[in-house]
Chain A
């Protein structure tokens, strides 16, 4: 039998193939959206519906402590919520691939095994950019007016930074839950966890103890920081974590990644046991 050259026909190195494999896994993920555009509509449907409901239905009854427009408070919160719920999408795809044997086929092939997880992460970030763009357009149509400039770019970056950290939570959960049906149940857990934050309501308006929990919710920091960067710093509290929202919006994802990336990698390696 002729020896098969593992580095490929052009004799390229390991790093080249790790990147090429990753890109091919990304292509697969994006092709899924192209073949099932209704999926991205579902993913966007919930935040857009929430924007409309909270903006128009509850909007007039909602107030922001210290004054300010509720819309300026709400829109960054919606962007954060969409990023936060993203981990459910990650988990759903991973649990599907692992229970249906797609991950096993990848693992039985001479491709870089890192590409399986990395490709998923890059796909999710690309999709997150598209989601944010569509949501921001919706917000602009509704009259939301953020500041432009580098602060806008920084806000966009912080939102993706949060999404990036939650990819590892999604991969870990996707490898942990036994079947795709169970992944659907994650929403029931995620929804209250995102409500107890500064996404819809300022923590000062909650009962004292709940407000403190909400302020320390990692996604509250990203929400407060992006409000600041969009030039509409409304509804901020005066606890330490709220006064350092920009710092904490950078730090929380580091902590989340430090916890869930090793868990996800360990779970992935356990597939060989």
Chain B
């Protein structure tokens, strides 16, 4: 790896398509041996960034190294050290799972015998042994994606790019893919994961870069990002609108900020530091005062909240809802 312990380093990346700036001074640093999330809505530039870093397209400006190698000048060397899975790298649907892995193994210059052995190993590791000799066309979405991951792991790459690896998968298959990713990282691989699923970045990544309109607008831990929106909040939902002013008063006593009331959803919430103490205090006081409470709890801000706070606009999914 290079001297700084960074597996991926990008400085001021530029990529234009006609008038459109797909990347506009994009920066990224990914520490070796970690999962790094690249989070942003559709069209933010995630895929363009991954395609540049995996040598599929040329950059117009800036500089990037992967595993210490320059992606523009040492493309071939970079390719021997990376894996790519996701929207844009696929497996052959006519061949069987085993034939796919053996073919890719030979194309990674393992030689026939080692390619065969490595294919068998990977089929086992990704739980595909039973389906190994079936055509990939008959695989489920989750199996296909696991085979895709296995094909990226033939040389045990230093850096693995996962471009929206769980898009279009059902929750169970998504969980399977997540388990596979965790196992890979345990084996020492650095993972750069792009996703629109905020939950996915939160679950897998130890650090997240938020990208919007071709620029990185934040780089932090998942918790750090949440703290930017404010920490935990206590939240009370009442049944009667007339109770709201009383609840605001009660909540204000335990909060270190200004309570906010939502008249239509009958909801009052406020930031707190002593989470459990505040919650018990509010619950007891409301009970003593005889206020009828629909729901009471602590809420950690979601990454959707983070995105709204950072960019001033919602993620695509939210906007569509």
Whether A17 and B103, one on each chain, are in contact in the complex, defined by CB atoms closer than 8 angstroms, is no
Complex interface bits, A1-30 against B, C-beta within 8 A gives 1, otherwise 0: 100101011000000010011001101100
Q: How far is the CB of A46 from chain B (nearest CB, A)?
A: 21
Is there contact, CB below 8 Å, between A105 and B109?
no
Stretch from A31-39, A127-135, A203-211, A224-232 that touches the partner? A31-39
A-side interface residues, number (CB < 8 Å): 30
A211–B54 Cα gap in the complex (Å)?
A: 54
B80, B84, B89, B96 — most chain A CB neighbours (10 Å): B89
Asked if residues A105 and B84 are in contact (CB atoms below 8 Å), the reply is yes
Q: Give B162-177 interface residues, CB cut-off 8 Å to A.
A: none
Cβ A28 vs Cβ B89 within 8 A: no
- Interface contact B103-A108, CB-CB below 8 Å: no
- Cβ of A111 < 8 Å from any Cβ of B? yes
- Contact (Cβ within 8 A) A110 B108: yes
**In the assembly, what is the distance between CA of A1 and CA of B32, in Å?**
11
Q: How far is the CA of A106 from the CA of B152 in the complex (A)?
A: 11
Contact for A101 among B79, B87, B104, CB less than 8 A: B87
Write out the residue numbers on chain A whose beta carbons fall within 8 Å of the beta carbon of B99: 31
Q: In the bound complex, what is the Cα–Cα distance between A187 and B230 (angstroms)?
A: 62
Q: In the complex, which residues 84-100 of chain B have their Cβ closer than 8 Å to any Cβ of chain A?
A: 84, 87-96, 99
Contacts of A25 in B (CB 8 A): 107
Are B1 and A107 in contact (CB-based, < 8 A)? no
Given A4-B80, A4-B81, decide whether A35 and B94 contact each other with a Cβ distance below 8 A. yes
Q: Which residues of A contact B91 (CB under 8 A)?
A: 102, 105
A97 shortest CB reach to chain B, Å = 8
Q: Is the CB of B54 within 8 A of A273?
A: no
From A4, A8, A24, A35, give the contact of B135 (CB < 8 A): A35
**Is the Cβ of A1 less than 8 Å from the Cβ of B107?**
no
Residues of chain A contacted by B186 (CB below 8 angstroms): none
Q: Within 8 Å CB of B67, what residues of A?
A: 1
| Chain A residues within 8 Å of B, Cβ to Cβ | 1, 4, 6, 8-9, 17, 20-21, 24-25, 27-28, 31-32, 35-36, 100-102, 104-111, 271-273
Given contacts A35-B94, A100-B90, A109-B108, contact A1 B155 (CB under 8 A): no
Give Cα distance in the complex from A111 to B109, angstroms: 8
Question: Measured between alpha carbons, how far is A175 from B67 in the docked complex, in Å?
Answer: 31
In the assembled complex, the Cα of A28 lies from the Cα of B100 at a distance in Å of 9
Interface flags, B127-159, vs A, CB<8A=1, else 0? 000000001000000000000000100010010
Partner of A272, one of B1, B57, B77, B108: B57
Contact B56 A107 (CB under 8 A): yes
Q: How large is the interface on B (under 10, 10 to 19, 20 to 34, 35 or more residues)?
A: 35 or more
A-contact bits for B36-80, CB 8 A (1 contact / 0 none): 000000000000000000111110000000010000000011011
Nearest chain B CB to A116 CB, angstrom units: 10
Q: A1-B1, A105-B151 are in contact. Are A17 and B109 (CB under 8 A)?
A: yes
CA distance A251 to B59 in the complex (A): 41
* Chain B residue at minimal CB-CB distance from A21: B107
Q: Please give, as numbers and ranges, the residues of chain B lying within 8 Å of A273 by CB-CB distance.
A: 57-58
Whether the pair B94, A101 counts as a contact (CB closer than 8 A) is no
User: When the two chains form their complex, are residues B95 and A104 in contact, meaning their CB atoms are under 8 A apart?
Assistant: no
> Once the chains bind, are A109 and B93 in contact (CB under 8 Å)?
no
How far is it, in angstroms, between the C-alpha of A6 and the C-alpha of B95 when the chains are bound?
27
Residues in A with CB closer than 8 Å to B94 are: 31-32, 35-36
Name the A residues within 8 Å of B96 (CB-CB). Answer: 35
Q: How far is the CB of B66 from chain A (nearest CB, A)?
A: 11
Q: Are B77 and A6 in contact (CB under 8 A)?
A: yes
**If A27-B103, A28-B95, A273-B58 touch, does A108 touch B89 (CB 8 Å cutoff)?**
yes
Closest to B108 in A: A109
Write out the residue numbers on chain B whose beta carbons fall within 8 Å of the beta carbon of A21. 107
Are A31 and B95 in contact, CB atoms less than 8 angstroms apart?
yes
**Any chain A CB within 8 A of the CB of B299?**
no
Q: Which residue of A lies closest to B87 (CB)?
A: A101
Contacts of A104 in B (CB 8 A): 56, 84, 88-90
Q: Which residue of B has the minimal Cβ distance to A102?
A: B90
Q: Which residues of B contact A9 (CB under 8 A)?
A: 109, 111
With A1-B158, A35-B96, A110-B80 given, name 20 new contacts (CB 8 A): A6-B76, A6-B80, A8-B111, A20-B106, A21-B107, A24-B106, A32-B94, A100-B90, A100-B93, A101-B88, A101-B89, A102-B91, A102-B92, A104-B89, A105-B84, A105-B90, A105-B151, A107-B56, A108-B54, A108-B55
